[in-house]
Amino acid sequence: MQIFLTLISERFAMIDAPHAHGPREELLSIWPAEEPLAVSLQPRCHKNHFKSAWYNGTLLVTIGRLLNNFLLHLGFGSASATLDYWTKGRVALLCQAGLKANCPMLHVCLLRWCSCKRLFGEEVKGALIIASTDRAFTFVSAAIFARLMICKQPSMPLLDFFKTSVKNLQLVSQVQEEKAMGAVPQCPIETSKFLAFVQERKRKRLLFKGELMMLKQIVENHKSEYGYLNLKKNNYPDVLPFDYNRVILKPIPNEPNSHYINASYVDSFFQPKAFIITQAVKTKPACVDFWRMVWETNAEIVVMLTKVFDFMKVMCLQYWPLTKFDYGDITVETVEAKTYAYFTLRCFRVSRVENGSTIIRQVRHFHFTEWEVNSLPYISALLDFRRRVHNAVKRCPNNVPMIVHCSNGGGRSGVFLAIYANLDLAEAENVIDVYGYCQTLLNARQSALENLDQYVFIYDTLAEAVQCNINPLTLEELRHRTTMYTTKQSRQALEAIYSQEYKFLTQLTPALRIGDCAGGHRLENRGKNRDVMVVPPDNSRPYLNTLHGESKDYTYINAVYVDGFRRKNEWIVTEWPKHHTIDSFWALVFDHSCHTVVNLSNDENSKAYPRFIHSRGRQSYGPFIVDVLSSQQYPYATSHIVKVVKKASILSELMVNNKGGIQEVDARICNVISVRIWPIQHRVPLSTVGLIDVIKMARCWRKRAPDRPETKPTVVISHNGVSRVGIYVAINLLIDQMDVEQEVDVFHAAKIVRLNRPQLFDHKEEYKYLNDLLIHYYMTSPEYHSTKSAESPCLLVNHS
């Protein structure tokens, strides 16, 4: 039998057993010595680097050597050890041990703890895993282990001591969970106290777990006999509707069980059967049943929370037509569809012949497209989506249910309804009752809440909604805001609003961890960054693919995607190229078919900021030839229209042409616009009018550029990849919002821009200037003054 004591740090990947992973794992045996020995473990940034054990400044032995000389028969008859951790990630190990043959073996492994996030209501930066041959792991903090070792009797065998300790710790954990279950809220929480309530629970995450465990215990055991009788109609055999609240369709003659559909009624706080949760449509017969349910329940709102295709798997059939299609005796016609970055809104005309006459109804379809399986969505986007759904529901009759579905009709649907219903409750009565409504959900539908992360997400989303209840401004309200610049008192009031919004902006933007940006911190990529603290997250950076063999990591460039108003990854934000990254910059333009490059910094210092675009003719940049087709000087900017071609493509063209053939070169046409009114040392440009002209110039080119520019990203450059680019991208997002919906939301535009690069809008002055720039753009654009907030016939444009 073996006992492993595993000290967990935050830098290394967890392993199950030291001997199973080869010599590159970090393993440290307790050093046998008669005197107490202090061993500090030098931190490294990469998990595959060997660590070294040091004693009084002297290198003792490398971890790899210890692993290679693993002493399988070494044991300790008695030992006392205390473990402590230092504030800066260093770990100290104090131990003394006496050797004795044929005794259980004791080892300490330095690994990363990734699953024991909190224990006993406290954050555990270092932890122990106590494990025996039954592989029953128990997590304890270093301080708890130290107290246990002090309590050990010298005559007690080490193995028996640990077995007893494990049982005691399991009992302690059980007691703590029972205590947390007893701390569930007994009544709704006032909205004024809700934020403090959530913050307190986030400090003691076990309280969230206690609520969820209590919910699972008190849920009633309802029957699902009809679900078991119709297993072929269920996508997931463990998510079945309860018999008492299932949706019952009108039977079709000569079709047995045609009354069954996997759907359940759910009550709201104010209305019984206000919602219907159902599963995704995955078969053609299910499409017919789905539209039968829509028609027979008189539903006018359908909310879809899953992608059609996700993780190499069909999650839901497209049960709506591109134009018009018959589903049984029901005809569905798509009247209108509007695509946004995180969701799509559609309007259907649904008709059916009954008693010789055709009845026509309107159904609105709200499809949230950025909520992947086993993940959590962007909170601001989900709140905006919920606002649009809520505005549409308010125009529906009170007794009409809203249909909600994800893939299995479980967790994502339950999370959305918990948020939706509680925001309704907060609006009506200024209270929130997450625990109470989740009890309603679980009594109405199996697996309406699937895990603790989803439950905590409900609290986080409601907390953000309560903290920054900032709604879009209509154009009429924006016009009124322009009048607040006339007096000193009103300007001060407006600046106070901007300051408060900027405070919320910095509080609600999550910071990126080093592990999120591993590519930018790799040794071969550090020299490609102007600032090692400003690197892109790996899941949101554009990867290069045409610089094979140029460097160890030819895919990397310090650039990051930013979402637009209508499209994901509409923008690419990057820094001014360095001397050795200019070829990477043109690879970015070529590989991602970028039609526009906007440079927001004046090139005053050629040494620090080398020129990456020449004035005329052809020039080579690594594997690319950049040909300036035309250039134009404007009062506030310079425009270069260039053709970017790979050298291999040019050589291939020449070879074919010599043989008399004709070949079209794979080229990219791009407009490089460089501003001349924004010196590097200035936070805001010298001329707002000039910046607006640059914005309009770039937007005009985007409309007429070749190769469908609406699907290609625009590159925005500043000297450091942080300053001023947030202003430019956010104002374009707001202009798109004005054009489409005749409303603006400055706060959430800035929040979306900061999602993948939190350093954007690094100063309050930039956020204030964004508001001023928006008002200036609005006042100088006459097309908005004659535009009224008229809704489309399908009511897809919703206002607060």
626-635 pLDDT, tens per residue? Answer: 999 999 999 9
Give the per-residue pLDDT at 777: 94
Grouping H, G, I as helix, E, B as strand and the rest as coil, residue 536 is coil
CA separation for the pair 22, 7 (Å, rounded): 19
Q: According to DSSP H, which parts of 230-357 are helical?
A: 284-296
What tokens appear for 737 in the block? 């919002």
Give the per-residue pLDDT at 623: 87
Would you say residue 95 has pLDDT above 80? no
Would you say residue 211 has pLDDT above 80? yes
Segment among 79-93, 210-224, 601-615 with least mean pLDDT: 79-93
Would you say residue 428 has pLDDT above 90? yes
Give the per-residue pLDDT at 79: 27
Give the per-residue pLDDT at 158: 52
**pLDDT-derived band at 241, boundaries 50, 70, 90:** very high
Would you say residue 619 has pLDDT above 70? yes
Would you say residue 542 has pLDDT above 80? yes
**624-630: long-range contacts at Cβ-Cβ below 8 A with a sequence spacing of 24 or more?**
624/583, 624/586, 624/587, 624/590, 625/650, 626/586, 629/669
Segment among 48-62, 462-476, 521-535, 603-617 with least mean pLDDT: 48-62
**pLDDT-derived band at 352, boundaries 50, 70, 90:** very high
What tokens appear for 470 in the block? 């900032």
Work out the percent of the chain whose per-residue pLDDT is above 70.
73
Mean pLDDT value across residues 601-610: 80
Would you say residue 731 has pLDDT above 50? yes
Tens of pLDDT, residue by residue over 131-164, are 333 333 333 444 444 445 555 555 565 556 555 6
Tens of pLDDT, residue by residue over 633-668, are 999 999 999 999 988 755 555 555 555 444 446 789
Would you say residue 575 has pLDDT above 90? yes
Q: Crossing angle, helix 452-467 and helix 488-508, to 10 degrees?
A: 170
CA separation for the pair 296, 367 (Å, rounded): 22
CB atoms within 10 A of CB 251: 12
Would you say residue 755 has pLDDT above 60? yes
| Most confident listed range (36-45, 58-67, 726-735) | 726-735
CA separation for the pair 413, 728 (Å, rounded): 36
What is the location of CATH 3.90.190.10 in the chain? 191-467, 485-608+630-645+670-784
pTM beyond 0.75: the answer is yes
> What class is the 191-467 domain?
alpha beta
CA separation for the pair 330, 284 (Å, rounded): 14
Mean pLDDT value across residues 425-449: 93
Give the per-residue pLDDT at 163: 59
Mean pLDDT value across residues 709-734: 93
Would you say residue 180 has pLDDT above 90? no
Would you say residue 604 has pLDDT above 90? no
Please list the helix, strand and coil fractions of the chain in percent, rounded to the nearest 5, in that order: 35, 25, 40
The average confidence (pLDDT) of the chain is 78
CA separation for the pair 74, 106 (Å, rounded): 8
Would you say residue 673 has pLDDT above 90? yes
Tens of pLDDT, residue by residue over 581-590, are 999 999 999 9
CA separation for the pair 442, 452 (Å, rounded): 14
**pLDDT-derived band at 615, boundaries 50, 70, 90:** confident
Residue, of 231 and 301, whose pLDDT is higher: 301
Grouping H, G, I as helix, E, B as strand and the rest as coil, residue 28 is strand
Give the per-residue pLDDT at 634: 93
Would you say residue 109 has pLDDT above 50? no
Give the per-residue pLDDT at 486: 82
CA separation for the pair 164, 643 (Å, rounded): 74
CA separation for the pair 602, 680 (Å, rounded): 7
CA separation for the pair 743, 745 (Å, rounded): 7
Mean pLDDT value across residues 12-19: 28
CATH H-level, domain 485-608+630-645+670-784: superfamily: Protein tyrosine phosphatase superfamily (3.90.190.10)
622: left (phi over 0), alpha (psi -120 to 50) or beta: left
**pLDDT-derived band at 338, boundaries 50, 70, 90:** very high
Q: According to DSSP H, which parts of 4-117 are helical?
A: 63-68
Segment among 87-91, 116-120, 467-471 with least mean pLDDT: 87-91
Tens of pLDDT, residue by residue over 364-405, are 999 999 999 888 999 999 999 999 999 999 998 878 999 999
Mean pLDDT value across residues 465-473: 90
Give the per-residue pLDDT at 129: 36
Would you say residue 747 has pLDDT above 90? yes
Give the per-residue pLDDT at 76: 28
Give the per-residue pLDDT at 647: 81
Give the per-residue pLDDT at 102: 28
Mean pLDDT value across residues 331-348: 96
Would you say residue 10 has pLDDT above 90? no
Q: How far apart are the first and last CA of the chain?
A: 66
Tens of pLDDT, residue by residue over 192-209, are 999 999 998 888 888 898
